[in-house]
């Protein structure tokens, strides 16, 4: 399945004549293993090697400190493959959700072909002065390519293309962040995006996504030791009720933003670099909706771990009602505010 000449031809075509290359490759009906051997693997490995070499040549850090360790290089390649397959799974899964085709073979092909500019950009990013701008530009081109290739490869209906694309990108972003946090590979500096008052930072079209990422990181650091008796206090139920009221209002605003975004883009047949700003707005609205509870808790100076514990205890009480003293106590609190809690907890 490994054919260097064909790999070079596909990658070259993916940059110079993308649509023609996509149509030709789709007609060949490759398995995902063949695509990985022809496109994905060569792109990831070659781009990593080329970027490392350019970094060693141009970076003063490497010039004076020596080459980056081989272990770090290998971890980077493994992470690139893992991130690739994560993206494929999510884009393919959501294609099925939005009445398209959940086809892993086609998903691997679509993401591989669309991200050719992105991998080329990762090489250019090692260049001094303009490397960062070139890498960003190629990443944006990759996003545009990914949007354009979805209808032919995953057959997402026209009316659902934007929503599918935004939902998939947000899910990839959240999943990658969570995995990176768990494995200790992530991070944003708290001084960059989020401070003790919960102020938003970061500028540019993805600034708010950085803020949402920092929110998740900060919430993940919260710790809470539940009371030994397992009972929710009056102060805790009051805090929880205040929070869910604010969450309900915030989600209503975000829902309006998402509906407006979908309405404005439902008939759009094409997608260009000029549309990236609108795409970022849609991603921000959806990401904000996912993180609404966390945002309300953290911007109010609350403890996410404590808030989560309260919600879990209330849900257990709603289901079990009277299996022990703690559940009976918590169920009484639930009953006192059932009209608000039932819909939220379900």
**What are 1-52's pLDDT values in tens digits?**
678 899 999 999 999 999 999 999 999 999 999 999 999 999 999 988 888 8
Looking at the structure, do residues 232 and 148 belong to the same domain, yes or no? no
Q: Is residue 142 part of a domain?
A: yes
Looking at the structure, do residues 136 and 276 belong to the same domain, yes or no? no
Looking at the structure, do residues 271 and 135 belong to the same domain, yes or no? no
Q: Which of 133, 157, 181 is the last residue of a domain?
A: 157
Rg of the chain over CA atoms, in angstroms? 24
pLDDT band at 195 (very low <50, low <70, confident <90, very high): very low
What pLDDT is attached to residue 187? 39
Over residues 198-210, the mean pLDDT reads 47
Q: Is residue 202 part of a domain?
A: no
Per-residue pLDDT for 194 more than 80?
A: no
Q: Which of 157, 179, 212 is the last residue of a domain?
A: 157
Looking at the structure, do residues 247 and 135 belong to the same domain, yes or no? no
Looking at the structure, do residues 16 and 139 belong to the same domain, yes or no? yes
What total number of domains does the chain contain?
A: 2
Q: Is residue 181 part of a domain?
A: no
Estimate to the nearest angstrom the gap between the alpha carbon of 27 and the chain centroid.
30
Dihedral over alpha carbons 26, 31, 36, 39 (to 10 degrees): -20
Per-residue pLDDT for 336 more than 60?
A: yes
Looking at the structure, do residues 149 and 284 belong to the same domain, yes or no? no
Q: Is residue 97 part of a domain?
A: yes
Separation CA 280–CA 86 (nearest Å): 21
Q: Is residue 93 part of a domain?
A: yes
pLDDT band at 283 (very low <50, low <70, confident <90, very high): low
**What are 39-51's pLDDT values in tens digits?**
999 999 998 888 8
What pLDDT is attached to residue 143? 83
Nearest Cα to Cα of residue 300 among 231, 245, 232, 224: 245
Q: Is residue 297 part of a domain?
A: yes
What pLDDT is attached to residue 271? 56
- Three-state DSSP string of the chain: CCCHHHHHHHHHHHHHCHHHHHHHHHHHCCCHHHHHHHHHHHHHHHHHHHHHHHHHHHCHHHHHHCCCCHHHHHHHHHHHHHHHHHHHHHHHHHHHHCCCCCCHHHHHHHHHHHCHHHHHHHHHCCCCCCHHHHHHHHHHHHHHHHHHHHHHHHCCCHHHHHHHHHHHHHHHHHHHHHHHHHHCCCCCCHHHHECCCCCECCCCCCHHHHHHHHHHHHHHCCCCCCCCCCCCCHHHHHHHHHHHHHHHHHHHHHHHHHHHHHHHHCCCCCCCHHHHHHHHHHHHHHHHHHCHHHHHHHHCCCCHHHHHHHHHHHHHHHHHCCCCHHHHHHHHHHHHCHHHHHHHHC
Q: Is residue 68 part of a domain?
A: yes
CB contact burial 114-131 (16+ within 10 A = b; e otherwise): bbbbbbbbbbbbbbeeeb
Separation CA 191–CA 171 (nearest Å): 25
Residue 268: domain span = 222-345
Per-residue pLDDT for 286 more than 70?
A: no
Over residues 284-290, the mean pLDDT reads 59
Q: Which of 128, 157, 186 is the last residue of a domain?
A: 157
| Percentage with pLDDT > 90 across the chain | 40
**What are 124-139's pLDDT values in tens digits?**
887 877 878 888 788 8
Separation CA 197–CA 236 (nearest Å): 21
Task: Please say whether the beta carbons of 1 and 38 come within 8 A.
Answer: yes
Q: Is residue 193 part of a domain?
A: no
């Amino acid at each position: 399945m490994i054919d260097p000449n064909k790999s070079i031809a596909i990658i070259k075509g993916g940059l110079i004549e993308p649509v023609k290359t996509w149509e030709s490759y789709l007609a060949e009906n490759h398995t995902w293993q063949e695509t990985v051997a022809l496109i994905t693997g060569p792109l990831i490995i070659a781009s990593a090697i080329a970027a490392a070499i350019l970094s060693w040549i141009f970076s003063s850090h490497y010039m004076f400190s020596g080459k980056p360790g081989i272990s770090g290089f290998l971890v980077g390649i493994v992470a690139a493959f893992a991130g690739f397959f994560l993206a494929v799974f999510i884009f393919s899964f959501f294609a099925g959700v939005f009445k398209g085709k959940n086809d892993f073979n086609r998903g691997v092909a679509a993401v591989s072909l669309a991200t050719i500019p992105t991998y080329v950009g990762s090489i250019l990013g090692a260049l001094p002065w303009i490397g960062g701008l070139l890498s960003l530009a190629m990443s944006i081109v990759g996003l545009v390519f990914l949007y354009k290739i979805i209808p032919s490869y995953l057959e997402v209906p026209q009316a659902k293309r934007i929503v599918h694309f935004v939902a998939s990108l947000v899910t990839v972003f959240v999943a990658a962040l969570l995995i990176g946090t768990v494995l200790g590979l992530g991070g944003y500096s708290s001084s960059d995006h989020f401070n003790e008052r919960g102020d938003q930072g970061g500028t540019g079209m993805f600034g708010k996504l950085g803020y949402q990422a920092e929110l998740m990181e900060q919430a993940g650091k919260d710790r809470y030791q539940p009371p030994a008796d397992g009972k929710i206090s009056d102060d805790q139920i009051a805090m929880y009720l205040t929070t869910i009221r604010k969450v309900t209002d915030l989600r209503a605003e975000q829902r309006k933003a998402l509906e407006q975004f979908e309405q404005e883009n439902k008939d759009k047949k094409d997608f260009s670099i000029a549309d990236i700003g609108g795409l970022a707005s849609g991603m921000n609205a959806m990401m904000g909706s996912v993180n609404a509870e966390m945002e309300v808790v953290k911007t109010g100076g609350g403890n996410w771990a404590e808030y989560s514990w309260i919600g879990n205890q209330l849900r257990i009480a709603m289901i079990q009602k009277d299996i022990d003293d703690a559940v009976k106590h918590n169920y009484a609190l639930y009953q006192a505010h059932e009209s608000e809690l039932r819909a939220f907890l379900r």
